[in-house]
Amino acid sequence: MAAGLVVASDVEVGIYANRLLDPDLTACPVCGRPIRSGPIHQDAEMVLLDELRQGLADHGIKYSMGRNDVRSVEAFVYRYQERQGGNFAVDKPASVGFHLHLYDQNGLAKIFVFDETQQPLFDDILKIVTFLKRGMKWITASQLAEEGIEKGIKYLQEDLK
């Protein structure tokens, strides 16, 4: 390896989180993809960062807090609404929307989009496997975010190692 050349796998991935500040936006201010904004719980960024840290550690990916000049992942949340109700009956289901923006030395390299509001099984019978994995109950926003982060890490995994 040439002197001064940094190999991506030798560097920790920087991680950080941001939230949508203008609820009237219909496109992500970072990547321009359409978004369906909504209420954002005050702890949303911390929950996403905690899930991201745990997920990266589970996959053996080194990380550090904050941006990194070689590789960084930004969790950008535009909706994070807790369910209203309990495990078996809700007035309003959990709803989470976020992007994982992967940056490298050249700028924005890859985007993962997670946008889900839990629906009753009879509204989408094709999601029966997901319904069974969730224990046949209504889940919290943090559980929904955990699912999204896991999917995002799997999507970005090759680029993160």
Quote the pTM value: 0.84
DSSP alpha helices (H): ranges in 31-90?
Answer: 44-58
Q: Is the pLDDT of residue 134 over 90?
A: no
Q: 1 falls in which pLDDT band (50, 70, 90)?
A: very low
DSSP alpha helices (H): ranges in 30-104?
Answer: 44-58
CATH number of 10-160: 3.40.50
Burial classification of residue 2, based on how many CB atoms lie within 10 Å of its CB (0-12 exposed, 13-18 middle, 19 or more buried): exposed
Predicted pLDDT of residue 139: 83
The residue with tokens 């943090």 is 142
**DSSP, res 140:** P
7 Cβ neighbours under 8 A, 6+ residues apart: 1
Domain ranges for the chain: 10-160
